[in-house]
Amino acid sequence: MGLNRRVFLGVTGAAVTAGLLPVEPARAGTSEVSLTDQQWADFLAGQDLVWKRVPTKWSQGPFLGDGGLGSMVYAVGNRIKFTVQHAEVQDHRTTGGSAWGVPRLPVGHVLLTPVGAVRAVDWRLDLWHAELVGTITTDRGSLRLHAIITEGVLGLSVTPSGDERADLVFVPEKAIPPRAATENPPAGYEFNPDPVTKTSGSERVVVQSLLAGGQTATAYRVIGTSGKRRMLLSVAHSFPATTAEASALSSVRAAAALSGADFQQRHRDWWHAFYKRSFLSIPDQRLQSFYWIQLYKLAAGTRAGGPVMATCGPWLEPTPWAAAWWNLNVQLEYWPIHGSNHLELDAIATTLKDNAAQLVRNVKTQYRDDCAGVGRSTDRHTSNTGTLGEPGGTGTVELGNLTWALHNVWLSYRHSMDRALLADVVFPLLRRAVNYYLRFLTKGNDGRLHLPATTSPEYGNAPDCNYDLQLLRWACRTLLDSARVLRIDDPLAKRWQEVLDTLVPYPVDANGFMVGTGVPFAKSHRHYSHMLAVFPLATVTWEQPENRALIEKSLRHWMSLEGAHRGYSYSGSGSIAARMFRGDEALAYLVKMFDTSTRFPVLENTMYTEAGPVVETPLSAAQTLHDLVLQSWGGVVRVFPAVPTAWADVVLDRHLAEGAFEVTAARRGGRTRFVLVRSLAGEPLALRHGIAGEVTVRTPSGTPVPYRDRGDGTLDIDLARGGEVLVHPKGVTPDLTVAPVPISKPGPRWGLP
């Protein structure tokens, strides 16, 4: 491969040491700038987690998954434990809520027991291949490990040397709600029966029957009795049918019928295609690696059409969070899929569509003709065995959770411009969510529509609660816009417009947004539910001069009350500061999440805990990094809108923006060198390119592209579906190379290096 001299000299010594080579510049007349497979492998090898010390708890160890089956790896005494958990495995009782009625349930674990005493490990979580590889050294020899999870099967191979041998045993765990470890069950609660183990041909099968009906089955086969041993294991869950046993056996037998090479290659092919959908490189090594680990974590934890991620993900450990939380957690988990061009992971959209009938059953009978909702925490089918409260009560009344979840789906629509998503999910369910609000809005003496007391998540109740008012305004605007796009003459359109015209203004005081009327934001709190209009809804923005003071003092006041802040408080404040176009401030907020002097920093393997494993916090940090390099709210695509001063070089490739635009751009030496945009849907493009001085606007092959300049650095460009536009400084021939940027801030690897 011929090397471009300018690019080769721009690679840091650290990158050369890691084996990175720059890609060839794009050929004239084309925008093909992607990395080769070898370059991808070399780059991601620099982001891998490594272990030179033995992990002894879930927060330290490797993790594997395929959106359903999940495993975390760590030592228990002298044995290595591979947890075996599955996102579909839950109880199905009709009472007891998400904690006791329909919680996630444990499955079991595999124990790898060596002959000798474990002295050391040398492991790598290979991101490019999504495989755990490495060795365990004992006083009797060593064991070579290889583990993957693919297509619902855990494949675990162990190759001994010296006098070492390994025993692989699956240990079932009782189907007891995780809350039972810290709480007494409700009166009259009966635990599920013990699992039953039996043999079926070459496989062992553990069947866990449930009192509510259905079953969980774990089937496994161990190949080899001495020397190298290979275990194939699969978990299946069925309800109300008892077909899980047959499903688990079928998966194991199908995997066993493949050669080891074919089994592995199918797995690798999926992951390689996954990574190639987008690329991001920043000069902070620790943050760059963290970002790529979060993309791996997302694809290991969820897939469209599968279960929406529980707050612990598919990696169930002792936790109070064995369910999906809809008042922040689910939303934050899925934000990074949009910018990273991974809409194939959008399990929120498919979960809401597939469980629309349950969303209706979540409201009381008298509202089911035209309303829907979702409670604070539910199973993967959006049920918590109860119904939503009614405004004005004293208990938890979180009306906005479904609306906020639908904002995520709306973002998927905006990034894909898939009208079917708008017509089949967003519009009909958002209409029902708003109808529930409309049942309780009343006109006050001031002529304004008011909402009785509802709950600002985890803060408390207040009339005219900002959590709900801000979501309701966004929802009514979105319904009106959607009706126009879908050409629906909806009889409720006048009512939605009335809400927009007469809804009470957001309650504010000297410190900014309040919780609601009469309830100031007066105590430290981890949520930013009172500020959703700023982020993520972008209905109150920094580009509205009349709102700047409100945004500024709201952010400052929230951050000044520190005691209850948690990791996503810092990702949230970082994203808000990025929406204010303050990159240095945004980064300063974000990195507090990693500060080990705080009570709740990001853990060694990039997981996070608040009384138990929670996955939304590190995933939300990936979104904050997106907000630093690309934003597309309000109909404008903003390139490098909040890049920190220290990041002189940034490269992004095929990041997705609203309007279904793929954006490739490079910043070198503190200046934007080019912006390349490809239209996937033929929408009008408003591009804020961030290039100082005069620009050239053309196709990659050199043909001028007509545009209109708004005068503020924003260009209006008409692009046909599949059309491309290249913007660069006038008089300069841009180098369209996409390659890792030089590392200006080295950092240690994640894991236990």
Same domain, 197 and 139: yes
Q: What is the CATH number of the domain that holds 191?
A: 2.70.98.50
Give the tens place of pLDDT for each residue, 656-682.
Answer: 999 999 999 999 999 999 999 999 999
744 inside domain: no
Whether 591 shows a pLDDT value over 80: the answer reads: yes
Q: Transcribe 204-257 into DSSP letters.
A: EEEEEE-TTS-EEEEEEEEE-SSSSEEEEEEEEEESSS--HHHHHHHHHHHHHH
Q: What is the CATH number of the domain that holds 687?
A: 2.60.40.1180
Q: What is the mean pLDDT of the chain?
A: 94
Same domain, 125 and 248: yes
Pairing of strands 279-281, 650-657: antiparallel
Cα separation, 736 vs 33, whole angstroms: 7
Q: Please report the pLDDT score of residue 51 as a whole number.
A: 98
Give the tens place of pLDDT for each residue, 266-303.
Answer: 999 999 999 999 999 999 999 999 999 999 999 999 99
335 inside domain: yes
Token pair belonging to 399: 């009306």
Main-chain dihedrals φ then ψ at residue 509, nearest 5 degrees: -140, -165
Same domain, 377 and 432: yes
Helix/strand/coil (H, E, C) string of 462-508?
Answer: ECCCHHHHHHHHHHHHHHHHHHHHHCCCCCCHHHHHHHHHHECCCCE
Q: Which amino acid is at 105?
A: L
Cα separation, 654 vs 31, whole angstroms: 11
295 inside domain: no
Token pair belonging to 33: 């700038």
Boundary (domain end) residue, out of 624, 648, 680: 624
CA gyration radius, the chain: 26
Q: Please report the pLDDT score of residue 17 as a whole number.
A: 29
- How far, in Å, are 534, 547, 627 from residue 512 at the CA level? 12, 10, 23
Pairing of strands 63-65, 229-238: unpaired
In the chain, pLDDT over 90 holds for what percent of residues?
93
Token pair belonging to 546: 């009349």
Q: Please report the pLDDT score of residue 15 as a whole number.
A: 34
357-362, long-range: CB within 8 Å, 24+ apart, which pairs? 358/382, 358/383, 359/402, 359/429, 359/432, 360/432, 361/387, 362/387, 362/388
What's the pLDDT band for 4 if we cut at 50, 70, 90? very low
Same domain, 325 and 374: yes
Cα separation, 610 vs 624, whole angstroms: 20
Count of domains observed in the chain: 3
Same domain, 13 and 109: no
Q: Please report the pLDDT score of residue 227 as a whole number.
A: 83
Same domain, 646 and 658: yes
What's the pLDDT band for 258 if we cut at 50, 70, 90? very high
Q: Please report the pLDDT score of residue 598 as a whole number.
A: 84
Give the tens place of pLDDT for each residue, 737-747.
Answer: 899 999 999 99
> 744: Cβ–Cβ under 8 A, 6 or more apart, which residues?
283, 284, 646, 647, 648, 649
Same domain, 341 and 419: yes
Give me the domain span that covers residue 212: 49-275
315 inside domain: yes
411 inside domain: yes
Q: Transcribe 7-23 into DSSP letters.
A: HHHHS-HHHHHTT--PP
Same domain, 36 and 165: no
Same domain, 658 and 512: no
Whether 10 shows a pLDDT value over 70: the answer reads: no
96 inside domain: yes
Boundary (domain end) residue, out of 624, 647, 679: 624
As a dihedral over the C-alpha atoms of residue 33, residue 39, residue 40, residue 43, rounded to 10 degrees, the angle is -120
> 169: Cβ–Cβ under 8 A, 6 or more apart, which residues?
110, 111, 113
The pTM of the full predicted model, rounded to 2 decimals, is 0.95
Same domain, 148 and 242: yes
> In this predicted structure, which of 24-33, 134-143, 576-585 has the lowest mean pLDDT?
24-33
> In this predicted structure, which of 9-18, 61-70, 82-91 has the lowest mean pLDDT?
9-18
- How far, in Å, are 79, 80, 168 from residue 226 at the CA level? 18, 19, 11
Q: Are 267 and 727 in contact (CB under 8 A)?
A: no
631 inside domain: no
Boundary (domain end) residue, out of 259, 275, 291: 275
Q: Please report the pLDDT score of residue 2 as a whole number.
A: 29
Q: Please report the pLDDT score of residue 34 as a whole number.
A: 72
Please give the average per-residue pLDDT across 721-726, as a whole number.
Answer: 97
Give the tens place of pLDDT for each residue, 398-415.
Answer: 999 999 999 999 999 999
Please give the average per-residue pLDDT across 387-402, as a whole number.
Answer: 93
689 inside domain: yes
Same domain, 103 and 234: yes
Q: Report the alpha-carbon angle 230-222-199, nearest 5.
A: 165
Give the tens place of pLDDT for each residue, 477-533.
Answer: 999 999 999 999 999 999 999 999 999 999 999 999 999 999 999 999 999 999 999
Same domain, 31 and 64: no
Q: Please report the pLDDT score of residue 611 as a whole number.
A: 87
- Dihedral class, residue 603 (left if φ above 0, else alpha if ψ from -120 to 50, else beta): beta
State whether the Cα torsion 323-376-568-641 is positive or negative: positive
As a dihedral over the C-alpha atoms of residue 468, residue 474, residue 476, residue 477, rounded to 10 degrees, the angle is 160
Q: Please report the pLDDT score of residue 686 as a whole number.
A: 98
Q: Please report the pLDDT score of residue 380 as a whole number.
A: 97
Give the tens place of pLDDT for each residue, 19-34.
Answer: 333 333 333 334 445 7
- Higher-scoring residue by pLDDT: 601, 32: 601
Whether 716 shows a pLDDT value over 90: the answer reads: yes
